[in-house]
Amino acid sequence: MSNRIIGLVGNPNCGKTTLFNRLTGAKQVTGNWPGVTVKRKEATVRGRPWTLVDLPGIYALASYAPEETVARDFLQTAQPDLILNIADATALERNLYLTVQLLEQGRPMVLALNLCDELQRNGGQIDCPALSRRLGIPVVPISARSGKNVGKLLGVLDQAMTLPPHQEGLAVLANAPAQTEQERYDRIRTILQGIYDSGGASGRTTEKIDDVLTHPVLAIPIFLLVMLLLFTVIFGPPGMGMKALAEQLVGQVSQWLDAALEQAGASWWAKQLAVDGIWGGVGGMLTFLPQMALLFLFLSLMEDSGYMARGAFVMDRLFRRLGLSGKAFIPLFMGFGCTTPAAMAARTLERAGERRRTLRLLPFFSCGAKLPVYILFASAFFPEGQSLVIFGLYLLGVLVGIVWVCLVEKSSARGADPAFVMELPPYRWPTLSGTLRHLWDKCKGFLAKAGTVIVFLSALIWLLQHLTPSLDWTKQSSISLFGCIGEWLAPLFGPLGFGSWQASVSLLAGIVAKEAVVSSMVSLYACGRPHEIAGALQGAFSPAAAVSFLVFVLLYPPCVAAMATIRRELGSWRETGWMMAGQIVAAYAVSFLAYRIALLVWPA
Amino acid sequence: MEWSLDQIPLGQQAVVLHIAEDTPLSHQLQQMGITEGVQICRKRQAPLGDPSVYLVRGSALALRAQDAAHILVRPLHISVAEGESPALPTANAFPFQD
């Protein structure tokens, strides 16, 4: 018999992804804000021949956001053998709304009541057998976080999958579906009458934390302080120390590789390709892994704790001026990590216009892969004010993005302000395993890129750098193929102060992956030796040109993966093309300005 | 005494009387639990004045004033002491109206 399908359905933020990981052992990422599961994910349940499909978190079977449509379409077209509905016991009334709607569809169902331990701590209680009788479906109290009762849930699922449960309550609800939201909530009141108490202490800790973090006066200073802390950790002694260590390791491997190849009697070009070409590129990128990991760790903690949703709440007023809501804060802030998942997270925005504006703004939120370029240049040219320079770049990106969206949106008609209805989830301690999983997921992506795209690109760049247009070997990269492409591009960048062929081709490589900017520079300026790159750059760039180059990297179009995702989300090649053209223009114009201004400070 | 939801003072408990009809927003609000007869509390305000957080059916919802203005409420005469969280509406605390 083929795999049978269980659909996992629940409200955003009720522990759905945690339960999914518990049941399947899959490495899925959760976040403590509405709408983490923007795409459908599936995996096999441990030791059972069932496929568990994790659907996006939804409040109801309506279609206000694309993610709700994903869930509804799945239930209607895929016809899962069983629905596993997970509900947050601490906000049961609201969670049961979806449950009742699902029951009205008349499909076999099991209800997992999550966070029962938290309910108990709040002083509340729930009579599960009674709830099961009233709903007419099996109800299992669980704690997805600690894994309590998950085994029992599996047993109940075993039963439900072999013989469909006798669901008399189901028939009642399915035969007379409620006509209005009001009616459905009235039914829920009746169902819960006398068997549920949410407990007086519910959310008290969250209230206390919110008293501080969303305080009328303190909220914004605290937010800025948190950002400052982030920058200090990443670019201050902790991050830079880790980077120095990574550089040492990469250097060691480089020497070791060189010696090993020497011993094996490798030819000149093989040794060069492996050590300077490939390892130079990959190693150059790996030295930035610690700082990237810190950035991702920080973003993951913000998501899991629930602070990200507060950011959305506090920022809503500012975002409204741009025709956005506070909800756009989440995908945009994620854009500081990586543009690709951030573009997918924009799906949680209900209105098409708001989604489009968010996607337009997103590439201006400097992604993590551009960070190595900033660190490299800032430490080479502005060692004193490193974090200030980098902070300034991030800020500039956001400002240019805002001006850009205002300009573009002025010309197209702007609809009414989108409505803003957002749940603020209770604060929860991020779990160690969850955080590590998050972090590993991101680092794995980075390492996978280093192992594939960057290996390929580094080899390609090395070849282009050592072959002349007539395909002869050369040690002089200026007459190589790369040199020729660069020479042709370079005059374009002359007015920006960095009209060298090396800079031009590095930028070109950055279109494939932003990490390739640094790896190309290492190979072009420092012959594949990462520790010499800073000195080499000081010789090749004037401080003003360095500023201009940084601004260009900040603003020019994102990598192909991000562009492809943005295109998919916008659903239009034309619009994406215009957007990227606009970014090139913006990058060129702002870099030019930055160069002219920087020349006043550091005359050439 | 009818108020629009965005007008009630912070910490004030109220009962929802009416929601402006048949817009996507009104359905969205009702699905999130803001239906007629439910008890709701305006808990806090964002630092820039808007939106506000409302507690309803055990969850905290952020709504903008312009959206909350579509909801008519009757304030309840429960004074909330400073610094103390008002009890959340539960099934028992608020009897079923029929």
β-strand pairing of A82-88 with A4-10: parallel
Mean pLDDT for A387-409 is 89
Q: What is the pLDDT of residue A415?
A: 56
Q: Average pLDDT in the A442-456 region?
A: 79
Where in chain A are the domains? 4-197, 223-410+444-601
Reported as a pLDDT band with limits 50, 70 and 90, residue B91 is very low
Please name the residue ranges forming H helices in A193-328. Answer: 204-213, 219-235, 237-263, 268-272, 280-286, 289-305, 307-320
Domain spans in chain B, listed from the N-terminal domain onward: 3-75
Cβ contact B27–A210 (<8 Å): no
A542 Cα to chain B: minimum distance (Å) = 43
Q: Is the pTM of this model over 0.95?
A: no
- Mean pLDDT within A556-571: 86
Q: Cα–Cα distance between A523 and A512 in angstroms, integer? A: 17
pLDDT band per the 50, 70, 90 thresholds, residue A83: very high
CA of A160 to nearest chain B CA: how many angstroms apart? 29
Give me the CATH topology for the region A4-197: Rossmann fold (3.40.50)
pLDDT at A262 over 70: yes
Is B45 at the interface with chain A, CB within 8 A?
Answer: yes
What's the pLDDT at B93?
38
Beta carbons of A316 and B28 less than 8 Å apart: no
Mean pLDDT computed over A194-208: 79
Could you give the percent of chain A with pLDDT greater than 90? 28
A180's torsion region: left (phi>0), alpha (psi -120 to 50) or beta?
Answer: beta
For residue A63, the model assigns a pLDDT of 65
Cβ within 8 Å, pair B50-A215: no
**Secondary structure string (H, E, C) spanning chain B:** CCEEHHHCCCCCEEEEEEECCCCHHHHHHHHCCCCCCCEEEEEEECCCCCCEEEEECCEEEEECHHHHCCEEEEECCCCCCCCCCCCCCCCCCCCCCC
Q: What pLDDT was estimated at residue A247?
A: 84
Please state the rounded mean pLDDT for residues A119-124.
Answer: 87
Least confident of A21-25, A175-179, A397-401: A175-179
Q: Return mean pLDDT, chain A.
A: 84
Residue A172: which pLDDT band, with cuts at 50, 70 and 90?
Answer: low
Q: Search chain A and give the residue with CA nearest B29.
A: A421
Cα separations in angstroms, A348 against A358, A464, A472? 11, 43, 54
pLDDT in tens, B27-80: 889 999 999 999 999 999 999 888 999 999 988 999 999 899 999 999 987 554
Q: Do A317 and B59 touch (CB under 8 A)?
A: no
Say what the pLDDT of residue A166 is. Answer: 54
Q: What is the pLDDT of residues A268-294, one digit of tens each?
A: 888 888 887 888 778 877 887 888 788
According to DSSP, the residues that pair with A53 across neighbouring strands are A7, A42
Q: Does B86 touch chain A (CB under 8 A)?
A: no
Nearest Cα of chain B lies from the Cα of A68 at a distance, in angstroms, of: 12
CB within 8 Å: B59 and A94? yes
> In chain A, which among 425-484 make CB contacts under 8 A with chain B?
426
A114 pLDDT more than 90: yes
What 3-state class would DSSP assign to A56?
coil
| C-alpha distances out from residue A489 to A244, A479, A505, A506, A589, Å | 34, 14, 8, 11, 17
User: Contact A576/A356 with Cβ under 8 angstroms?
Assistant: no
Mean pLDDT of A368-373: 89
Task: Tell me the two tokens of residue A138.
Answer: 């099996």
Q: What is the pLDDT of residue B8?
A: 92
Q: For residues A486 and A465, what is the distance between their CA atoms, to the nearest angstrom?
A: 11
Q: Is residue B88 pLDDT above 60, yes or no? A: no
Are the beta carbons of A197 and B90 separated by less than 8 Å?
yes
Pick the residue with more confidence: A231 or A576?
A576
How many CB atoms within 10 Å of residue A155? 12
| A91 closest CB neighbour out of B47, B51, B59 | B59
B46 and A215 within 8 Å at the Cβ level: the answer is no
Backbone angles phi, psi at A166, to 5 degrees: -75, 110
Amino acid at A382: F
CB–CB of B31 and A181 under 8 A?
Answer: yes
> Quick one: average pLDDT of B90-96?
38
Q: What is the pLDDT of residue A143?
A: 92
Q: Which chain B residue shows the shortest CA-CA distance from A96?
A: B33
Band (A168; pLDDT cuts 50, 70, 90)? low
Q: Buried b / exposed e across A87-125, counting CB within 10 Å, b at 16+?
A: bbbbbbbbbbbbbbbbbbbebbbbbbbbbbbbbbebebe
The 8-class DSSP code of residue A78 comes to: T
Would you call A140 helix, strand, or coil by DSSP? strand
Does residue A8 have a pLDDT over 90? yes
Length of chain B: 98
CB A176, CB A186: distance < 8 Å: no
Out of A90, A215, A422, closest to residue B58 by CB: A90
Q: How many residues does chain A have?
A: 604
Interface ipTM: 0.80
Which pairs with CB-CB distance under 8 Å and at least 24 residues apart come from A270-274? A272/A462, A272/A466, A272/A528, A273/A459, A273/A462, A273/A463
Q: What are phi and psi of B41, to 5 degrees?
A: -135, 135
Contact between B88 and A182 using a beta-carbon 8 Å cutoff:
no
What sign results for the dihedral spanned by CA atoms B19, B22, B23, B29? positive
> What CATH code would you report for B3-75?
2.30.30.90
Residue window 97-126, chain A: list those with CB within 8 Å of chain B: 97
Residues A404-430 pLDDT 10s:
888 877 655 555 566 788 899 989 888
pLDDT band at A544 (very low <50, low <70, confident <90, very high): very high
